[in-house]
Structures are given as structure tokens and as C-alpha cells.
Structure 1
Amino acid sequence: MVSFSMIDATKLRSIAMAQQGLHKNAAFGRGRTGVLQMISQLGYLQLDSISVVVRAHRHILRTRVPGADLRHLGRLLADREIYEYRFPVAAYHPMSEFRFASHHMAWRWEMNQRQFRVRREDRAMMTRVLDRIREEGPLRSRDFEAGTHKSGGWWHWKPAKRALEMLYYQGDLMVSARDGMEKSFDLTERVVPADIDTSTPDMEEYVRYLIHSVMRAHGFASYRTLTFPARGVPVRKAMLSELARQVSEGELVQFVDKTGEKLWGMPDLVEGRLPRVTEKVRILSPFDNLVTERERLSNVFGFDYQIECFVPEAKRKYGYFCLPVMMGKSFMARMDCRSHRDESRFEIKALYLEPEFATRRAFASVVNDFARAIREYGVFDGCKDVIVMETAPEFARGMLRSQLKSAP
């Protein structure tokens, strides 16, 4: 076993950022090809409906594929090169890896069967929804509102919407297209291309996939990170057995972090040269693949972060939707923001600097780049003007406001 002292946090940060495509500009390329390469490398691109600032999938795209937009995602979805599913979160995934969602779909099916004992009326509704989509083609949830069906008004929107979601989660339906956040559903066999393998992998192959996909995205991982995508699927025994095999055969190396937690990593990364990370400001989404594993973020980057939009307002420490901000390999701040697009105004409600950047001297060394990054992000979100309300420390407000006035 390699000790953590031989693999310091600086190297782990570099590995994580390089695997995530955050170490340099356009690491995955550009355009449609770059978007597909990004999703394939990261394993998934999370979708989220929160729009106080630009939505998560657009934000994550921007940080890795310059110039990419929703048209590229729409084209990839239409061409069946990606698919949408909640595995482990609502996200786009590579269509080539579709079969590995089948264990999660089976778990969802079992969950639905248990619900039927309470909601037996759902079974009939699910059959009706399937029959209608089979007959009419792709439909949206609002197509099941009363009066939208030619044969009468027996549809009740909420039960129909619930049936749609159940059928989607258990794999009978898939998202065939999107218009913003509105989904169209079609039969799975009409969405998945004929040349895609849809067989269910056995548990050994499934855990090998989990290990491969997580290592591809992060370079190293804890047991918790490795099993996160399998949420709901019992993989512990097979996972531990496969990890032991891969370590014994040299496919992975094992070490511990500063807390004593076991980590597994790719030998060529853990034992190789340190990847170079460009020194620039990066404003990340709270749902960015780099930051969603909160304990990993704390252990490796020393950044104690939690998105607080799901926390009652009275218990929030920083704000509703704080964006993590990096400089190089370090987290420099978090800022609670809101885009007032109708007024073309990007509001920084509160900015909190991390200790490393919380002196006048340290902040002065990055404030110019930070102001430029904020300006660019605001324009990306449809806002020309930027206002700064509160900062901690307080001196940062005046320094940032001054630089924002002169930032191009």
C-alpha cells in the first residue's frame, strides 16, 4: 500500500482536475465532438432546473467546452449518441454505456412494485400511458392534461405524470427530445439504436464498469465515490472483491488519505508525472462533477462546501445558491449569486473568500482575473451589469467593485 505522504494533496488535486478537463482550456476540444468527449470522460452531465443563475448543464459545458451550447446537446440526443436518465442523478450519459443503467432500472421497477400495493390504480394508468405513446409517438406530460386526448377527458394529469415518471425510471420509456426543461417521452425500443447492446451485465461486469467510469472521471476514488452511481443496487461484496483483484494484478494502486480513508487510483496517474494545471479563475456550478462529492472535496481540496438551496433559509450559512470559485488548483471563494436577466443585472449577493485569499495582498493578486471571470460569466448568463452587495472580508467589496468597473 502506498502511504498518503508519498502522494500529497497537491498531486491528487492535479490528477482530479486533469481527469475532469479543468486543467487547461478546451481539454476535450470544441463543438459537438468536444461535448460528446466531455460526457464520455466524465460519465454524465447533470441536468437541473434551478435557474437563479444559468442552469447546471449549460454552466458545466461552458467550463470545459468553450462555445458549446444547448444545440450541441440537442443534436447529440437526437442522433442517439447520448441518453437521459437518473443514474445516479438526472443527467445525460453516453448511449454506448446504456446497458449499465439496467441494474438501476431494475431497482426502480422493484420500488414501483412495492408502491403498487398502495397505488394499484397506477398500474392501469401506466398501461394506458404506454398504449397511447405506442399509438401516437413521443408525448410530453402536458399532452396528458384533460381534454388533450382525442378520445375524451378521462386523463387526470397528476396520475398520468406519475405514471410517466414510473415508466421512465423503470426503463419502459426514455426521453426522446427536450425543449428547455420540457421532456418528450417515447418507447425505449424506439429510442435506443438497434446496434446498441442492451443486455444486462452480471454483477462482476457491472462493478468493473463502475470502477472504470469513476477512474476515468476522477483518477482516484474512495469506496463511497466508486459506489455512488450504484445507489440502490447492492454491490458491496462484488465491488470489494473486484477492487482486491485489480490491486493484486496491478491495475489499481491503493493508498490512504490524511483521514485514513482508503483510496484506489490509476497507477499511471498516481505514480506518474504531475499534470500541469493552468493558473486561472474558474467559476463552477454547485452541480459540477468536481464538487458533488463533498467529503472528497474537503479531504483533497480543503474546501468545506454544501449547496444550501435545499437547506431551510434560517439554517443557511452562506446563501441559497453559492458558486464555488477556483484559482488554479485551489478554491478561492464561494459567491451567492442571482441573475436578473430582465434587467441585464448579475447580482453577487454575498462573496466569501477562503482563508488563503482573505488578506488584502492575496486578494489583490487575483482580483483582476476574478473580475474578468465574473464579467464573462455575467454576459454568458445574459447580464451586462454586475453589482456586489456583501463580501467577507469587507475590504474585498471595494477592491472587486473597482476592478469590475475597469474589467473589459
Structure 2
Amino acid sequence: MEKKLASGQLKLATLDSQGLTQHAPFGTGKDAVLKALEHLGYIQIDTLSMVERAHHHTLWTRIPDFHADYLEELVEERKVFEYWFHAASYLPMQDFRYVLPQMLMIKRGESRYYNADHRVMEYVRDTIRNEGPKRARDFENESHKTGSWWNWKPAKLALERLFMQGDLMISGRVGMQKTYDLTERVLPSSIDTTEPTPLEFAEYLVKTNLRAYGFTTLKQITHLRKGNDVKKDVNKVLQTMLEEGLISQVKTEGLSSVFMLNHVLEKTFDPGNSNIWLLSPFDNAIIHRDRIKQIFDFDFRLECYTPKEKRQYGYFCLPILFGDQFIGRVDCKAHRKEKKLELIHLHIENNTVDIGLWLKPFVETVKRFAVFNGCESLALTKVSPPKLSTSVKKELSKAKFKK
């Protein structure tokens, strides 16, 4: 029997599961970074740097005292590793066995991606075994030596293939430059390396989604995962959890039914939450665009890959979440040399929310975000609708930074 739930409760339930209803939901410091990763399942890595990169931004949103060193230290301590989730991601080391199906598929040559010259792969692997961890640029230097029979590009492809098939792991980074080492020298001996059965893998996907989002659908769980077999296995796990009374099938007005953890369904949420969050476009909470459109009626698209003349909002907009509503987005850029965070264009789209409620917390959050980006001043270029411009500029002018 389906249960019914108000759409507002569904919003609060998923925001709470994402760590977006309270201050420091995972605690503080390095331990909080690991807790957040283990709860969310992954954090997407992205190289775009208009503002602080996505993986750092997503963690900072939930961990007020987050520092990039925390993540790097967790990699060095072998508690976190990098691999491909739906994109390049950091994952908790405890979940390593669940990337094995993809690694082994690539190793068996069942993927048309990651082709590489096997002679170069052998050379790269032997070099790392004999000389220690290497970056791609190390092989670039090698390829310029007299008598080299290969150039840098095949070596880079070989590194990527060896990484994707599990022979190499990323042991650390210098900025965005990855350092590779043999998996046997990186992976802790305590980690289970038994390949999960298809049903075990489906159970991992289901439980990860439910834990991170509070509710889920078959479509969301199998997003970007090809094949009917995984859908059948996921559906089987969901039906078993329903029979065991761990989850319920819930209906909300205007939406198809969702599967929801019973303890989340029974939880009481405070509708008076007035927190403001500036989310990364790659934040776990926003990454499923169709889901956000359905649940929050917020149509978000990242436009940095869209030709300039076709952009509606801007190159790198950050969604603005106020309580349980997305009230708009702001196109930002951190001018690091000038130590200035520019709000290129602030778009406020939900005009039903009184500016007196969101403006001060918005400015406070923007100020914190500026400091996180190494900036000491704010600049506002444009506001939509224009009638809000004077009020926003006046409030921003009050923001003071410690010298």
C-alpha cells in the first residue's frame, strides 16, 4: 500500500539527508570530510576553477571549516580513493569492491573506451614499479629522450587505461596533477577485494541512494548505468526491502511514487529553516537535474559548455537554496590576483519570497564563500530583476572582511 506525503516534507527529507538543513551536519575537521563522503557515497571531481573547484566546494557547503588539505590527507591515509562513479569522483575506501565490476569489464576489453597501446602500458607499469609513483608529465619528459619509440600522448592514455582497469591508483595530487602508483602499494590490505555479485552491486546502489537522498526511484538509481540486468536487480532489491519493512512506497501530489526509508518518512522536520546555501553546479544535491525540476520546480543547467550568445544565465552559475526553496542562481568568478569575488549576475527567480527574509543571510553566505575562495572583497555587476539591485548593493556594501 502506498503512503502519501506532502511535497514540502519530501523536500525537507531529501535536503536533510543531503546535509543541507543544519549547520555542520557531519561535524568539523578532517573526520567530518570522511563522514560526509561515507554518507553521500561520492563527491564529484571537476577541473573548472571559476570559483573553488567542485569537490572542495561541495564539502565546504556541509563542513564550515573545510580545508583542501583534509581531503588530500585522507587520500594519503588510504581512507579515500579516486575512481569513476558517474564521473570522476572521490569515494570512501570502504566501498572499493563496488568499483571492481567496472574495472574488470575494462580489463577484459569489454569497453570501447580507454584504448591504449599494450607495449606502452607495459612500459608505464614497469617504470612505476621500478621507480615509484609518477605523474603524466614525468612520461612527457621521458618521451623526448633520444631513441624513444613513443610520444607523450600514448603514455597518458596508458596511464588512464591502467587506472581505469585497476592496475594503478591515484596516490595523491599536486594541484590537479594526479600521481599514480601500483594498486598493490596503495590499497590497504584490510580492504575486501571480492568482486560483488550483480545483486550485491544493486544493493549497494540502492542503499547508497537511499542514505544520501532519503528517497529514490528506479530511474535515479540506474542513472547512466546501462543494461536491463542492473534495472532488474535494483528492482529486486527494492521489492525485498519493501517486504522487509525497511522502506515504503510514497506518493506525493503531482509526482510519481518514490521509495523512501521508513525512519526518514517518520521523522519530523522544521519547516522554518532559513539557511542559505550557494551550491556547486556539481553538488550531489543538484546533479540529478530532472529530479530537482520535479521536486523543487527548479530548472537548472550548467551553461559553461553553451555558446555565449545562447546562455540565459551565465557561464558558471551557482544555485541559491533558501530553506527548502531554490530562489535563484548567481554567476560568479573569483579574481584571485585581486582577491575579489565578483557576482557577475545575480538572478532571483522566486519572487514569492520576501527579500527581507533572504538578503542578509545571502550576503553573509557570499562573504563566507569569498573567504573560502581566498578573496577579501565583493563586487556586484548585475541583478535581475533590476528593482532589487539597490537593496542588494546596499547590503553587500556592509560586508566587512578581516585584514
Q: What is the percent sequence identity of the aligned residues? A: 37
Residue in structure 2 matching 1:392, options 372, 377, 384:
384
Conserved in 1, the CA contact under 8 Å of 2:249 and 2:258? yes
C-alpha distance in structure 1 between counterparts of 2:141 and 2:297, whole Å: 53
The partner residue of 1:193 within 185, 188, 193 is: 188
Q: In structure 2, do the counterparts of structure 1 residues 53 and 147 end up closer, same or farther at CA, with 3 Å as the change threshold?
A: same
2:177 matched residue in structure 1:
182
Cα offset for 1:252? 1.5
Distance between the aligned counterparts of 1:247 and 1:180, measured in 2? 45
The match for 1:122 among 111, 117, 122 is 117
Q: Could you tell me which residue of structure 2 aligns to residue 217 of structure 1?
A: 212
Count of matched residue pairs: 400
Matches within 5 A, 1:5-24: 6-24=4-22
Match of residue 75 from structure 1: 73
Q: Work out which of the residue numbers 267, 272, 287 in structure 2 matches 1:272.
A: 267
Change (3 A) 1:113 1:240: closer
Partner of 2:359: 367
Structure 1 letter corresponding to 2:2: V
Residue pair 1:18, 1:277 contacting (<8 A) in 2 also: no
1:61 and 1:68 in contact (8 A); partners too: yes
Displacement of 1:368 in angstroms is 1.8
Sort the Cα spacing of 1:367 and 1:221 in 2 relative to 1 into closer, same or farther, 3 A: same
Deviation at 1:276, TM superposition (A): 6.2
- Report the CA distance between 1:146 and its aligned residue: 3.8
2:326–2:350 Cα contact (<8 Å) kept: no
Q: 1:407 pairs with 392, 399, 402, which one?
A: 399
1:1-400 aligned at under 5 Å gives the runs 1-3=1-3, 6-109=4-107, 114=112, 122-147=117-142, 153-228=148-223, 230=225, 234-274=229-269, 278-357=273-352, 362-400=354-392
What whole-Å deviation, never above 9, does each CA across 1:11-62 have from its counterpart, x for those lacking one? Answer: 1111111111111111101111111001000001111110011111111121
Given that 2:6 and 2:253 are in contact with CA atoms closer than 8 Å, whether structure 1 keeps it comes out as no
Counterpart of 2:336 in structure 1: which amino acid?
Answer: R
Post-superposition offset of 1:278 = 3.4
Is the 1:252–1:264 Cα contact (8 Å) retained in structure 2? yes
**Does structure 1 retain, via aligned residues, the 8 Å contact 2:144–2:151?**
no
Label 1:289 to 1:397 Cα distance change in 2 as closer, same or farther (>3 A).
same
CA separation of 1:111/1:294 partners in 2, compared to 1, >3 Å: closer, same or farther?
farther
| 1:312, distance to aligned residue in structure 2 (A) | 2.5
Amino acid at match of 1:406: K
Paired residue type of 1:108: I
Deviates more, 1:156-165 or 1:99-108: 99-108
State whether residues 282 and 325 of structure 1, in contact with CA within 8 Å, keep that contact through their aligned partners in structure 2: yes
Shift of 1:164: 0.7
TM-score by length of 1: 0.92
Asked whether the equivalents of residues 143 and 149 of structure 1 are also in contact (C-alpha less than 8 Å), the reply is no
Task: Structure 2: give runs of 5+ residues left out of the alignment.
Answer: none
CA distance in 2: counterparts of 1:199 and 1:259, whole angstroms = 43
Residues 129, 406 of structure 1: alpha-carbon distance in 2 compared, 3 angstrom cutoff = same
- Superposed CA deviations along residues 366-407 of structure 1, whole A, max 9, x for unmatched, are 212212221221122122221211211101221111101112
TM-score normalised per structure 2: 0.93
| 1:328–1:115 CA distance, 2 compared to 1 (3 A) | closer
Q: Which amino acid aligns with 2:232?
A: K
Following superposition, the deviation at residue 2 of structure 1 comes to 2.3
Give, in angstroms, the shift of residue 255 of structure 1: 2.5
- Judged with a 3 Å threshold, the aligned counterparts in structure 2 of structure 1 residues 232 and 74 are, in CA distance, closer, same or farther, namely farther
Contact 2:5 2:251 in 1 (8 A): no
Residue 196 of structure 1 and its aligned partner are, at CA, apart by 0.5
Task: Please give the alpha-carbon distance, in whole angstroms, between the structure 2 residues aligned to 1:47 and 1:231.
Answer: 22
How far apart are the structure 2 equivalents of 1:270 and 1:162? 47
Name the Cα RMSD after superposition.
2.2
Q: Deviations over 1:210-268 (max 9, x none)?
A: 11111111110111221237457940111112212221221211134445433111011
Helix, strand or coil at the partner of 1:175: strand
Moved more, 13-22 or 30-39: 13-22
CA distance in 2 between counterparts of 1:400 and 1:259 reads 35
**How far apart are the structure 2 equivalents of 1:225 and 1:281?**
26
Q: CA deviation at 1:149?
A: 8.4
Once the two structures are TM-superposed, the CA of residue 327 in structure 1 deviates from its matched residue by 1.2
Counterpart amino acid of residue 107 in structure 2: W
Distance change >3 Å, CA 275–CA 134, structure 1 → 2: farther
Q: Indicate conservation of the 8 Å contact 2:121/2:155, yes or no.
A: yes
2:113 & 2:201 partners in 1: Cα distance? 27
1:356 Cα offset (Å)? 3.6
